[in-house]
Amino acid sequence: MLQIYNSLTRKKEPLMPLTPGKLRMYVCGMTVYDYCHVGHARVMVVFDMVACYLRARGFDVTYIRNITDIDDKIIKRAAENGEDINALTARFIAAMDEDAARLGVQKPDAEPRATAHMPQILKMIGILIDRGFAYQAKNRDVYYRVRKFNGYGALSGKSGDDLRGGAGVADRIEARAVGQGRPASGFEVDEDKDDPLDFVLWKAAKPGEPAWDSPWGSGRPGWHIECSAMSTSCLGNHFDIHGGGMDLKFPHHENEIAQSEGATGERFVNTWMHVGFVQLDQEKMSKSLGNFFTVREVLKQYDPEEVRYFILSSHYRSPLNYSQGHLLNARAALT
């Protein structure tokens, strides 16, 4: 029987489909404000291989990979470029599709976009408020009440002070990313929140930013609620596999579980799969650190099959060290 390491239980478990012979899988996709780097490519290639392999084993797989097309980073980049947000996201979605196709990555069965799921997002937030899991603060933002959800921290293994510190780190990283200049020491204490751990579900409109109407005023969704709404609307309240990069385990996937299970009262996902980082000089490759190579840059020197082989030559949960030497080894091995 096929076994998969489940990040939630931290052990290998038999893959037991909720519906015999069928598997439903959701993977967190790209935030489309720039070109895909090798870390993004690893997630796309790995889950392409997972879907292909499961189908080869005889499963009827429904594979969903979302597109985040509204986000702080997107808004910031569009403002820097003096570019319409829809034009920016359309340009980088097209670039992402080109890169994925060159790497032999098949299109998922569906690629839901956050901006196309506002009704589902608003409905889920409304349910969370009705059930006491969320509240609107004085600043008109809507927050998730973390301590209301008893299972919070199960995926990441964090609790108590770890969670409090993690929430602060996440706030500081996001603040730096969007250039808000918040303090770099300690974690942000937002007086409008009931608790520092609480995270935003709906952001009140700011001048010049895109906004949608809602029962809580004009605004836009937080990042985490987008994936909860898209995954459950495409695959149902309870599905088989949820995947993404290791960096999404906390807080993004932890928050998805809290939102989804708080809203539906059902278990959200059976098996969690997380892909390890691509590293450059022993550091995670990322745009925020500025130490990344885009897929396009790499494909100027190496054949797409060589890059795909390089990505798949190490275990998907292990770090993948990017270097010219390793790519040359992949070329020799593939040959």
292 confidence band (pLDDT: 50, 70, 90): confident
Band the pLDDT of 131: cuts 50, 70, 90: very high
Mean per-residue pLDDT of the chain: 91
Q: What pLDDT score was predicted for residue 236?
A: 98
| Per-residue pLDDT at 185 | 27
Return the closest-CA partner of residue 8 out of 317, 268, 315, 271.
271
Predicted local distance difference test score (pLDDT) of residue 183: 32
Q: How confident is the model at residue 290 (pLDDT cuts 50, 70, 90)?
A: low
Residue 81 has pLDDT above 50, yes or no: yes
In the predicted model, is pLDDT for residue 196 greater than 60? yes
Amino acid at 84: D
Q: Does 190 score more than 80 pLDDT?
A: no
Tokens of 91: 């340009």
Determine whether 303 is exposed, middle or buried from the number of CB atoms within 10 Å of its CB (0-12, 13-18, 19+). Answer: middle
pLDDT in tens, 293-322: 899 999 999 999 999 999 999 999 999 999
Euclidean distance between CA atoms 321 and 128, whole angstroms: 41
- What pLDDT shows up at residue 162? 66
Sign of CA dihedral 178, 183, 184, 186: negative
Cα–Cα–Cα angle for 184, 188, 194, rounded to 5 degrees? 175
Q: What is the predicted pLDDT for the residue at 57?
A: 97
Residue 180 has pLDDT above 60, yes or no: no
Task: Inform me whether the pLDDT recorded for 116 exceeds 60.
Answer: yes
Q: Which residue has the tokens 């930013």?
A: 209
